[in-house]
Chain A
């Protein structure tokens, strides 16, 4: 277990004693990691980040499997909240918050995790296929029959249902009703958000119900005929947490604290992510005005929502 409240630099010294490597189980795309980790390594010389980059669920699976194998290899885990929770429920995480967490609002931290960055599920459309004036203003616009056969979405994004039910309408029934209406326009589901973006671009659908906002600015910059809805969006949280039996506890703690700190968050912003820190702005315009964050409470009822979601869209 890492030492308590000293400065990052003191911690740095302790970390160096541990051999100076950090096994970071982080869902950071290589492109982002490329920009972020070197900063960390510059800031704390002598520490090398060994980046294990998978999708969050794979990270969780791997951590758990390693644990079953009788050994913990990861120091920090950073990924979608639900997967962090999943690992925690396996009793693998250290129940302790870094001092930097104080700066964060309640819904962006728990007893063992701090939100590090966020991913937003928003609506987007192909400007080639949607005339001026027809653009959607909000999610419920898609209930309009004019969208019949023009909508695409990701089959596993029940966060949409959660967000609308828990935050926008404060009533699951209402949310379900809206989504049922949308379902009547028989939405076409494609696996993977990246594929979604491509198919939207190609015209497989005119509009996308559940796309990732950060997929769009780069393409639009390059001239892709796309636009996306920034008035509202579902916020999914990428949390950071430290492994209980981390082989380099102090290094792990050092990273956790740095990642949560304002300077760390700035680096994340520059690295192309949407920082969770209230005081740090993202470099790209990808943070919606209204955010419906999917937090611990929602995730608790995951199964329930999943069931309803699948019923609404007749999914499997």
Chain B
């Protein structure tokens, strides 16, 4: 329900669309459609096109035959499911436990863990995968070596180049996403709902499982959904771990299709369409499960006081968990990076490599003009993308989950589409569309902004929708009856109440758009070059340790940005 009680039938809706109150959300929806439909269209089109003469195409199903009629199809499919399923579950569990410990318990020192938790997200994907290979490689992995010499093991205990290895390495990179979204959810939950559970004799754990998480169903489902699809479409790990391990998943197929000579975009697109269908299914299930929106309104009109669970002695267990996690998952790869960034070339830690430690890489970067330009571009883009993206998705989330306009779930689906469109396809779509566009955005960072916003709508949408479902309608209705127009209500009541989800999405988008590569690569030009491209470029040249240095600089920049943002946004929203 909403400040403008909307009818549930199409018939009475049509006159309503003339209502200025609905203008803003509808514009938002319009923008979304504009952004999402283009790549979707190009993807579908491309999947049916076969090039016969230079830039002349006929439509046929050939691509689908190539894509799905190969003897590998089945194994690939199974691998993908295991990979995606396993890793999304692992990620979700880790992220949720972390978020809960940090946000809703009295675990010691939990506050300092918050900023640390996002670090794995910042490490450039390639670097992180490599870092993990350096830790877990059966041949030289630092951890393996250490353990073997420590316990005199005959064989290395871990092997990165396996399916479990793949799942692990990918998961740890994704945990921050789950963490951020779950923290948001935990933040905006009326504790009396949990308290009453405890008074019913439910232990902390039972309460968490049977009340908290169930109340947070929409967010949990959101998170799982996005993790699953995100994993399906993720590329770095399958390429860096899967190919050597000869474990092929969906995206490695797509990657291979694009990287054969001449590139077979048709097949790539056809494969991507499969991804699209899978996620469509996911979204459909999700919207169904959250239709009875009222069930999840945990930010009630009875103003509440967020509170922490008292874990008693268990809080030390929680503390240990946090510690182990951060040392094992965040610190180690980070240290590998840091270590490398002081080296002329990757070398195992040890006395003899101590001599060659130096600040050369940083000195080099300092004097390296392109680096600073790229840095600037990236920061500007990250900030813009995050802000535009979140405001937009908040609007859409409102339309989908509060207005309950008939068919609004389609928006939800559209908002999910971009995640399934391979970056390169999106890039090419945007090129073709904007290269001859009357407004000269092409070749500027604005086209990148469009690309980024498009790409990250799904993430924003997930965090926004979870949060908006938690807001009790009467809070908005009260604004309505106080004479606040739709926009005023949205701006002064809904958004502030959304803050936890908004912040989560903002931080995530800010970070990932800082890292975005596969689309930028096609759209960036000399003076709109972004950091990720520079990074890739230098990596290709084998200046890996310089890249590590860049990674470190990125981490500090982003942590700083996030901190500032937290400070600013802390002013609005529910005061805890």
A–B contact at 8 Å CB threshold (below)? yes
- CB neighbours (8 Å) of B19 from chain A are none
Q: Does B119 contact A (CB under 8 A)?
A: no
Which B residue's beta carbon lies closest to that of A211?
B542
Which B residue's beta carbon lies closest to that of A58?
B521
Interchain nearest-CB distance for A153 vs B (Å) = 10
- Please encode chain B, from 235 to 247, with 1 for each CB lying within 8 Å of some chain A CB and 0 for all others: 0000110011010
Which A residue's beta carbon lies closest to that of B369?
A34
- Please encode chain B, from 410 to 448, with 1 for each CB lying within 8 Å of some chain A CB and 0 for all others: 000000000000001001100111111000000100000
- The answer to whether A201 and B345 have CB atoms under 8 Å apart is yes
- Please encode chain A, from 52 to 65, with 1 for each CB lying within 8 Å of some chain B CB and 0 for all others: 11110110011011
Which residues 194-222 in A have Cβ within 8 Å of B in the complex? 194-195, 197-199, 201-205, 212, 215, 218-219, 222
- CB neighbours (8 Å) of A232 from chain B are none
B139, B432, B541: the one contacting A29 at CB < 8 Å is B541
Which A residue's beta carbon lies closest to that of B53?
A91
- CB neighbours (8 Å) of B543 from chain A are 31
- CB neighbours (8 Å) of B134 from chain A are 202
- CB neighbours (8 Å) of B260 from chain A are 306
CA gap between A64 and B370 in the complex, in Å: 27
- Please encode chain B, from 463 to 490, with 1 for each CB lying within 8 Å of some chain A CB and 0 for all others: 0000000000000000000000000000
Interchain nearest-CB distance for B133 vs A (Å) = 7
Q: Does B540 contact A (CB under 8 A)?
A: yes
Given A29-B538, A30-B534, A53-B537, A189 contacting B243 (CB threshold 8 A): yes
Given A61-B428, A155-B243, A219-B344, A195 contacting B436 (CB threshold 8 A): no
- The answer to whether B259 and A316 have CB atoms under 8 Å apart is no
B139, B521, B541: the one contacting A54 at CB < 8 Å is B521
B140, B431, B537: the one contacting A203 at CB < 8 Å is B140
Q: Does B310 contact A (CB under 8 A)?
A: no
Which B residue's beta carbon lies closest to that of A303?
B261
CA gap between A31 and B347 in the complex, in Å: 23
Q: Which of A3-11, A82-90, A139-147, A278-286 contacts B (4 or more CB under 8 A)?
A: A82-90
Interchain nearest-CB distance for B123 vs A (Å) = 16
- The answer to whether A57 and B538 have CB atoms under 8 Å apart is no
Given A31-B543, A34-B370, A222 contacting B435 (CB threshold 8 A): no
- CB neighbours (8 Å) of A62 from chain B are 428, 431, 522
- The answer to whether B54 and A90 have CB atoms under 8 Å apart is yes
Q: Which of A69-77, A161-169, A174-182, A260-268 contacts B (4 or more CB under 8 A)?
A: A69-77
- CB neighbours (8 Å) of B443 from chain A are 73
- CB neighbours (8 Å) of B370 from chain A are 30, 34
CA gap between A89 and B434 in the complex, in Å: 24
Which B residue's beta carbon lies closest to that of A302?
B261
Which A residue's beta carbon lies closest to that of B542?
A215
Which residues 168-194 in A have Cβ within 8 Å of B in the complex? 188-194
- The answer to whether B542 and A197 have CB atoms under 8 Å apart is yes
- CB neighbours (8 Å) of A23 from chain B are 525
Given A65-B431, A66-B435, A202 contacting B537 (CB threshold 8 A): no
Which B residue's beta carbon lies closest to that of A152?
B244
Which residues 3-61 in A have Cβ within 8 Å of B in the complex? 23, 29-31, 34, 49-55, 57-58, 61
Interchain nearest-CB distance for A39 vs B (Å) = 16
Q: Does B130 contact A (CB under 8 A)?
A: yes
Given A188-B244, A202-B137, A71 contacting B436 (CB threshold 8 A): yes
Which A residue's beta carbon lies closest to that of B543?
A31
- The answer to whether B72 and A192 have CB atoms under 8 Å apart is no
B240, B344, B433, B537: the one contacting A222 at CB < 8 Å is B344
Report, as a range, how many residues of chain B touch the other chain. 35 or more
- Please encode chain B, from 137 to 154, with 1 for each CB lying within 8 Å of some chain A CB and 0 for all others: 101100000000000000
- The answer to whether B54 and A91 have CB atoms under 8 Å apart is yes
CA gap between A52 and B300 in the complex, in Å: 54
Q: Does A296 contact B (CB under 8 A)?
A: no
Interchain nearest-CB distance for B418 vs A (Å) = 18
- The answer to whether B54 and A70 have CB atoms under 8 Å apart is no
- The answer to whether A204 and B262 have CB atoms under 8 Å apart is no
Q: Does B325 contact A (CB under 8 A)?
A: no
- CB neighbours (8 Å) of A156 from chain B are 259
Q: Does A130 contact B (CB under 8 A)?
A: no
CA gap between A201 and B435 in the complex, in Å: 43
Interchain nearest-CB distance for B115 vs A (Å) = 30
CA gap between A62 and B356 in the complex, in Å: 41
- The answer to whether A191 and B243 have CB atoms under 8 Å apart is yes
Interchain nearest-CB distance for A185 vs B (Å) = 15
Q: Does B544 contact A (CB under 8 A)?
A: yes
- Please encode chain B, from 110 to 121, with 1 for each CB lying within 8 Å of some chain A CB and 0 for all others: 000000000000
Q: Does A132 contact B (CB under 8 A)?
A: no
- The answer to whether A67 and B261 have CB atoms under 8 Å apart is no
Which residues 514-529 in B have Cβ within 8 Å of A in the complex? 521-522, 525-527, 529
Interchain nearest-CB distance for B375 vs A (Å) = 14
CA gap between A303 and B239 in the complex, in Å: 22
Taking A51-B526, A190-B244 as known contacts, 16 extra A-B pairs with beta carbons closer than 8 A to each other, sorted by chain A number, are A52-B525, A68-B432, A73-B435, A82-B261, A90-B55, A189-B244, A191-B240, A192-B540, A194-B544, A195-B240, A198-B346, A201-B346, A203-B140, A223-B356, A224-B344, A316-B256
Q: Which residues of B contact A (CB under 8 A)?
A: 54-55, 72, 130, 133-134, 137, 139-140, 239-240, 243-244, 246, 248, 256, 259-263, 344-348, 356, 370, 424, 427-428, 431-436, 443, 521-522, 525-527, 529, 533-534, 537-544
27 A-B contacts (beta carbon < 8 Å): A29-B537, A31-B541, A31-B543, A52-B526, A53-B526, A54-B521, A61-B522, A62-B522, A65-B432, A66-B431, A68-B55, A69-B431, A71-B435, A86-B261, A90-B55, A188-B244, A190-B243, A192-B540, A198-B345, A198-B544, A202-B137, A204-B133, A205-B139, A218-B542, A219-B542, A306-B260, A306-B261
Q: Which residues of A contact B (CB under 8 A)?
A: 23, 29-31, 34, 49-55, 57-58, 61-62, 64-71, 73, 82, 86, 89-91, 155-156, 188-195, 197-199, 201-205, 212, 215, 218-219, 222-224, 302, 306, 314, 316
